[in-house]
């Protein structure tokens, strides 16, 4: 693969990093406004539960499909150029969602909004190219944290805006902020030359990779129903296997692959993906189990929490997730990514194991959720920082976008694991699962997360500190 030795790009200041942070907050907010207002949308648009579930996953699926593409195109054509065009798609999606009169139009808007997830790997490309290594560590952590903080902002403002103004404005306001952030990024960040000269697009690889990711996102929600729909489930699994095998063969033979498989074979890279998957799976299982335990009636073994109560209980963990990014960036710079990742994994494992034993009081769950969000956030962000600052920068977008795709897959698999466990351990005719389901669930989440420690020792191979 050929690389071009472009002249060093112009450095950027705090205002430019602030513009990237503003864009991260706005996109994070637009991504999260749907979740707390889904019951309202179901009432206003007369949606069935199945249609509501489809609406809640449309952005996630389209984002997962686009992530590897956006990162690779950023490497090939320059981060700022691709980000500007990507944000135009997001702005169109926000506009469509804000004006949507029915489900099909709103679905179209959500699919277009899915392009927003590509902003993170593109931000990492720009930070890597325009800042020295030490500053880049911190800036990547801050931008990642601001995206999570945007999720928190969106979750907090969506309900009041939808009820005080209308559902249209909860999409329109973040979209306007994204427009401002896009203009600032375009004006404050100089154009970055492409890091790679092989500008051809590997269309067969792109089609096969997108098909494999889409099929995987269809397979995971079907796992709980696999026994009742064996033919459909089996057909999708076979299709997924065929697409993955075909994609690997195409990428190995391509002169300019969409994803260079030699990149995935490096010890410092494959370990990043393994750690991300294990930690996100364990974290997502707990993220699913904790609210379910809050909602169990108080006359059983739960707390009978209402939706408002639950939002209050989960708010501290959302704050912890938001601050984990900057902490991880600082820790990776000061102590090295390997140390930060190991500390995050150890904290998550210990907390999940403790929750399996101690979950009889509200404060047990609140503090446990805070510690899990903080530990897993530090771990995953430190992995992203390590991945984004390893090598010569020519594959920054591709490598980090694959990390984010792995995170999506891990979270989806973890949530499905929690759902399967509670369903399987709910007695016939009962409305709530046995308490042992939560004990086993937290225990499994702790064990899966602990497996990530096996890959930590390879993280320093090729790492720039």
pLDDT the model gives residue 204: 82
305 neighbors 295 (Cβ within 8 angstroms)? yes
290 neighbors 342 (Cβ within 8 angstroms)? no
pLDDT the model gives residue 287: 77
* Domain 14-188, CATH: 1.20.1250.20
Rounded to two decimals, the pTM is 0.69
Distance, C-alpha 377 to centroid of its chain: 11
Residue 308 scores a pLDDT above 80: no
Residue 298 scores a pLDDT above 90: no
| Strands annotated E in 132-240 | none
Contacts of 235 (CB under 8 A, 6+ apart): none
Of the candidates 271, 282, 268, 269, the one whose C-alpha atom is nearest the C-alpha of residue 450 is 282
321 half-sphere exposure, CB direction, 13 A CA radius: 20
pLDDT the model gives residue 450: 93
30 neighbors 91 (Cβ within 8 angstroms)? no
Specify the length of the chain in residues.
465
Which of 36-40, 306-310, 448-452 is most confident?
448-452
40 neighbors 104 (Cβ within 8 angstroms)? no
| Average pLDDT for 248-259 | 75
Helices (H), 190-266: 203-222, 230-253, 261-265
398 neighbors 68 (Cβ within 8 angstroms)? yes
Place of tokens 């063969």: 249
Split at pLDDT 50, 70, 90, the class of 249 is: confident
* Domain 259-456, CATH: 1.20.1250.20
Residue 201 scores a pLDDT above 60: yes
Encoded tokens for 397 = 């977008």
Encoded tokens for 229 = 């729909």
pLDDT, tens digit (0-9, with 9 covering 90-100), for 105-130: 888 888 888 888 777 777 777 777 77
Name the least confident of 12-26, 66-80, 436-450: 66-80
| Element at 42 (helix H, strand E) | helix 34-44
pLDDT, tens digit (0-9, with 9 covering 90-100), for 339-398: 888 999 999 999 999 999 998 899 999 999 899 988 988 888 888 777 766 655 556 556
What SS3 state is found at 434? coil
d(CA 148, CA 321): 7
Residue 300 scores a pLDDT above 80: yes
Of 72 and 368, the one with more pLDDT: 368
Of the chain, the end-to-end C-alpha distance in Å amounts to 26
283 half-sphere exposure, CB direction, 13 A CA radius: 30
| Average pLDDT for 250-265 | 70
Describe the crossing of helices 307-335 and 362-388 by its angle, rounded to 10 degrees. 40
What torsion, rounded to 10 degrees, do the Cα atoms 341, 346, 347, 351 define?
140
Place of tokens 């929690």: 418
pLDDT the model gives residue 363: 92
Encoded tokens for 189 = 């960040």
């Amino acid at each position: 693969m050929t690389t071009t030795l472009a002249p060093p790009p112009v450095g950027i200041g705090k205002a430019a990093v602030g513009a990237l942070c503003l864009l991260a907050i706005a996109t994070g907010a637009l991504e999260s406004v749907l979740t707390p207002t889904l019951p309202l949308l179901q009432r206003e648009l007369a949606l069935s539960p199945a249609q509501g579930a489809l609406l809640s996953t449309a952005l996630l699926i389209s984002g997962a499909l686009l992530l590897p593409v956006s990162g690779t195109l950023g490497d090939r054509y320059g981060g700022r150029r691709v980000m500007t065009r990507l944000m135009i798609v997001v702005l169109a999606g926000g506009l469509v969602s804000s004006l949507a009169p029915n489900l099909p139009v709103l679905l179209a808007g959500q699919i277009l909004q899915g392009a927003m997830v590509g902003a993170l790997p593109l931000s990492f490309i720009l930070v890597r190219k325009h800042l020295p290594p030490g500053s880049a560590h911190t800036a990547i952590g801050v931008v990642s944290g601001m995206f999570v903080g945007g999720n928190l902002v969106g979750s907090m403002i969506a309900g009041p805006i939808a009820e005080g103004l209308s559902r249209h404005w909860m999409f329109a306001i973040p979209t306007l902020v994204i427009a401002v952030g896009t203009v600032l990024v375009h004006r404050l960040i100089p154009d970055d030359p492409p890091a790679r000269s092989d500008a051809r697009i590997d269309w067969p690889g792109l089609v096969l990779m997108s098909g494999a990711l889409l099929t995987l996102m269809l397979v995971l929600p079907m796992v709980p129903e696999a026994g009742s729909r064996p033919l459909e489930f089996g057909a999708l699994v076979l299709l997924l296997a065929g697409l993955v095998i075909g994609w690997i063969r195409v990428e190995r033979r391509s002169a300019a692959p969409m994803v260079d498989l030699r990149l995935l074979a490096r010890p410092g890279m494959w370990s990043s993906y393994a750690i991300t998957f294990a930690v996100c799976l364990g974290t997502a299982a707990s993220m699913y189990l904790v609210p379910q335990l809050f909602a169990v009636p108080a006359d059983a073994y739960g707390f009978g929490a209402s939706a408002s109560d639950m939002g209050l209980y989960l708010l501290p963990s959302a704050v912890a997730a938001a601050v984990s990014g900057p902490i991880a960036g600082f820790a990776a710079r000061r102590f090295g990514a390997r140390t930060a990742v190991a500390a995050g994994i150890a904290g998550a494992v210990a907390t999940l194991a403790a929750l399996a034993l101690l979950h009889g009081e509200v404060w047990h769950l609140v503090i446990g959720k805070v510690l899990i969000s903080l530990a897993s956030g530090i771990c995953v962000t430190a992995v992203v920082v390590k991945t984004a600052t390893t090598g010569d920068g020519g594959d920054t977008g591709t490598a980090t976008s694959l990390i984010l795709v792995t995170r999506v897959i891990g979270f989806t698999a973890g949530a499905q694991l929690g759902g399967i466990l509670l369903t399987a351990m709910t007695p016939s005719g009962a409305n709530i699962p046995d308490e042992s389901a939560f004990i086993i669930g937290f225990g499994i989440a702790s064990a899966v997360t602990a497996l990530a420690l096996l890959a930590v020792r390879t993280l320093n191979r090729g790492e720039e500190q």
